[in-house]
Structure 1
Amino acid sequence: MLISILVLISVVGVFLVSPNLLYMLGTGYSASGGSAIAKIHPCTYVLVATYFLQILSGRSLRFELIADREVNFRVAAIFILVVYCGAMGFVASIPIVTLLTPFCLLALLQREKIQFLAFLSVIIRLVLVVNALVGVFEMVAGHSILEKVAGNVEVGNDARSIGLLGHPLSSSLVSGLMLVFLMREGIDGRVSVLSVLEMLIHVAGVLVFGGRLNLVIAMCLCVYALMFGRSAASGSTKTLIRVFMFFVFVIACIWASQSDFAEVLLSRLSGDEKNADSSSATRVAAVLLLLNSELSDLVTGISDARRAQLLGAFDTEYGIEVTWISWIFSFGVFWTAYLMKSLFRSLSKITCNAPPSLKYMNILFVIAMTGAQGLGGKTLALCWFFLMLVTFRAHLELKLAGK
């Protein structure tokens, strides 16, 4: 019971305790100096401690998607990576928060009852709906609830909403994932008035958060699902449901294009300086930085001071957003190869034999993580996605089993 309570607290925390909130509280989480303890996310402490607590308690696996041995091996490997970063003078808090936290969380989720995981899925969906509604409120009100920061740098020229997650790309990603999930579930016949309303809320969310790539990929996946996706619905209802979801999709697109919320996204697509941020320039700078680096830097990684120097030279103060490039500079090419392989293997195993909606979400996440918004800095994005995949799968399996 204690472990389940700690897991519940951590689930809420990874979504609501954003770096922006920690910045406003003056914790030094994103500061360049200060205490190393403060640079670790509070939920990381809870989840790592709970992970070791469940090992000592000997809890059995109840919802195994990945072999327990494999998950524990990933955790051990990341601990070694943390030691490597410390020995080389690199930023150790990045692998701790970004990688260690989600794999400890995954190990804990696999030991929870399927009913508890299904309950968590409801909480997560409610939190994400609130996040999208907060984004809409911020757009209408003209100001954000949290301070707009990237790392420890305040951002003052970005018109996008940031939501409770604290970053427009993060909020856009989760709304895009939910949009794809709900559309594909609708085609399979699992649709209701509430799910259609939820979908419309996330359409508005993607618009106000201004994630261009997330929107494009989500729309492409929705169109593909409508045209070619096999429906799990029975008999003559297949065509009816597909037609219904098509009309929902068209209405959502028309409403979105005519709403005021589309202004920020359209401005970013057209390159309006008022609303455009430095995301595209940052990704171009990341590639140039990679091409102009020495071989030794690529093999071993670079120190935080050297990284800051290179970022300044290429005028990309917000960091490197492309995951694999950032990992090369943070850990070296060999560690990057191992981490990318481990990540793809874990995601493929979680979605193996899963409903199509989860596989569609996986496609969106992988493209977004490798080509745009990244896991290169301190982020809980992988925690969010592991939570969505595992809990949504548990909820669907319960529903399909009629329990």
Structure 2
Amino acid sequence: MASGWSGTASNFGAAAPRAGTSVDVVTQFGLIAAVLVLFSVSGGMLWLLGYNYDGLSGSAATKIHPSTYLIILLFAWRSCTFGNPVGYLVHVADRRPATALMIVIAVVLLVVVIVRQRPGMAGMIDTFVASGLLVLLLGEDDEWTFARLRTVIHAVMTVNALLALVEFATKTLVFPYRFDGEVFATDLRSSALQGHPLSNATMTSIYVLALLSGSRSLPAPLRLAMIGLQCAALVAFGGRSAMVVTILLGGCYVLFHGFRKLRTGRVNLLGAALAMMLAALLPVAIAVLASQGFFDALLGRFVSDGGSANARVEMFEIFNYLELRDVIVGPSIDLVESLRRINGLEWGIENPFIRMTVYQGAFFTLLMMSSFGLFMHEVARRCHPGVWLPVVGWLILLNTSESISSKTTLLTKVAVLCLALYRPARSVIRPVKAVRPFAETQNRSISF
């Protein structure tokens, strides 16, 4: 199949370049700028610039994140500099077929949403199209770009965590989450650079897991300090599910990795001494922070969740009011909104599969989620084996909110984080040797 696509690319007048070929300067710096905007510009920040991203009112153009516009422009630019736009499309589809499939299905569903006048147009673009196009652009394996992307991710996530702790200590939100300009005055959870506290918590949890099993280029003491900082920020964001996932998955990974190190018989004495010292100081630090009320807000959310846990049970009651046809193709929007109010789901349907099924129907949900699964598998295959840890964390956390069934940049962030922090070493990426044609080998004599 790959050879067929490559041949098609040649027919369009553009030879498919090999991985690692030079990428033009505009694309390199454009990718860095797009990722910087993606990770550091929230809806609250955009509101201060007169850009109503998180609300319903205002221009339709403002419902798309600026990073998505940058990615689309970069993709158009790269297809032109390739020499033949059609040949470039065939080339990138050949290298990332699952990603190309997800983009095609998302565009088809976008057209269906527009024709049927249903909500979710911006979600198809920001959630699936943007993430797919960025992965296609990163598929050219430019080492210089990936090195800078790692620096950008580490820098932005560090600043994000520090800002979250400052907001937590001062009870003042710099860029609070807004809906049509309205701030939720009773919600004092940190919003930092990435907007909604739960989006922050999800991304921080995945980043902590990535620091544990990836980011091999960072010194161990620096990684340990960064993990501590991000865990402290996780408390400020108040994400219960994110905290539980981080503790369980991260704790299991550390124990398994530690026992495996002990079994090999090769233990760094300095590292072992540092680990023992931290293990002794950690309970003391937790006790001191608890006495100062650092965990009060997070514990309060475990005690009183505002009906969030009950909403995850009540959302299944919606299907009792729907006919089979409505489940397959999606009921009317008026009926969905009425059922949400009846079942106490004013804040949303906190599961992406259930929400997309209710709004778009089971048929399109099956197509979109299947392509999403293939996309994540393709991204993971291009990464270091340790990528399974943040991917598992991501797959768990996305089921605790609307996540990818609505407008979000989380999928794009997760894909970039995995590809950048889990990039295999150059020595591991070896070119595949060409197979000698059968006719050529048939004419050679066989000696014993």
Q: TM-score, normalised by structure 2?
A: 0.78
The answer to whether the 8 Å contact 1:285/1:314 transfers is: yes
Distance change >3 Å, CA 353–CA 148, structure 1 → 2: closer
Distance change >3 Å, CA 224–CA 40, structure 1 → 2: same
* Residue from 54, 63, 70 that aligns with 1:30: 54
Distance change >3 Å, CA 232–CA 387, structure 1 → 2: farther
Distance change >3 Å, CA 104–CA 304, structure 1 → 2: farther
* Residue from 199, 202, 220 that aligns with 1:170: 199
The answer to whether the 8 Å contact 2:383/2:419 transfers is: no
Q: Distance in 2 between matches of 1:290 and 1:183?
A: 41
| 2:5 match | none
* Residue from 91, 97, 113 that aligns with 2:142: 113
**Corresponding letter in the other structure for 2:100:** N
Tell me, yes or no, if structure 1 residue 40 matches structure 2 residue 64.
yes
Q: Distance in 2 between matches of 1:180 and 1:253?
A: 21
The answer to whether the 8 Å contact 1:211/1:265 transfers is: yes
Q: Cα offset for 1:391?
A: 0.7
Q: Distance in 2 between matches of 1:202 and 1:253?
A: 18
Distance change >3 Å, CA 10–CA 233, structure 1 → 2: farther
* Counterpart mapping for 1:115-264 below 5 A: 115-149=144-178, 154-185=183-214, 191-229=219-257, 230=260, 236-237=266-267, 241=271, 244-245=274-275, 248=278, 251-252=281-282, 255-256=285-286, 258-259=288-289, 260-264=293-297
| 1:381 match | 410
Q: Which blocks of at least 5 consecutive residues in structure 1 are unaligned?
A: none
Q: Cα offset for 1:254?
A: 5.1
The answer to whether the 8 Å contact 1:132/1:201 transfers is: yes
Tell me, yes or no, if structure 1 residue 343 matches structure 2 residue 372.
yes
Q: Distance in 1 between matches of 2:123 and 2:207?
A: 27
Number of matched pairs = 393
Q: Cα offset for 1:373?
A: 5.6
The answer to whether the 8 Å contact 1:78/1:100 transfers is: yes
* Counterpart mapping for 1:247-326 below 5 A: 248=278, 251-252=281-282, 255-256=285-286, 258-259=288-289, 260-271=293-304, 276-302=305-331, 305-326=334-355
Partner SS, residue 404 of structure 2: coil
Which of the two has higher C-alpha Rg? 2
Q: Distance in 2 between matches of 1:179 and 1:232?
A: 23
* Counterpart mapping for 1:54-65 below 5 A: 54-58=78-82
Q: Distance in 2 between matches of 1:239 and 1:400?
A: 29
* Residue from 349, 356, 380 that aligns with 1:327: 356
Q: Which blocks of at least 5 consecutive residues in structure 2 are unaligned?
A: 1-24, 430-448
Q: Distance in 2 between matches of 1:173 and 1:129?
A: 15
Q: Cα offset for 1:40?
A: 1.8
CA offset digits 1:290-320 (Å, max 9, x no partner): 4443433322235555544433333333322
Q: Distance in 1 between matches of 2:185 and 2:152?
A: 32
**Corresponding letter in the other structure for 1:301:** G
CA offset digits 1:239-267 (Å, max 9, x no partner): 97577557646745653454233221111
RMSD: 3.2
**Corresponding letter in the other structure for 1:264:** A
Q: Cα offset for 1:5?
A: 2.0
**Corresponding letter in the other structure for 2:35:** V
CA offset digits 1:21-79 (Å, max 9, x no partner): 23344433333344322222222222122223322332889xx9993333223222211
| 1:19 match | 43
More moved, 37-46 vs 290-299 = 290-299
The answer to whether the 8 Å contact 2:31/2:71 transfers is: yes
Distance change >3 Å, CA 400–CA 257, structure 1 → 2: farther
CA offset digits 1:168-220 (Å, max 9, x no partner): 1111112211222223359x896522211111101101111111111111111
Q: Distance in 1 between matches of 2:218 and 2:76?
A: 38
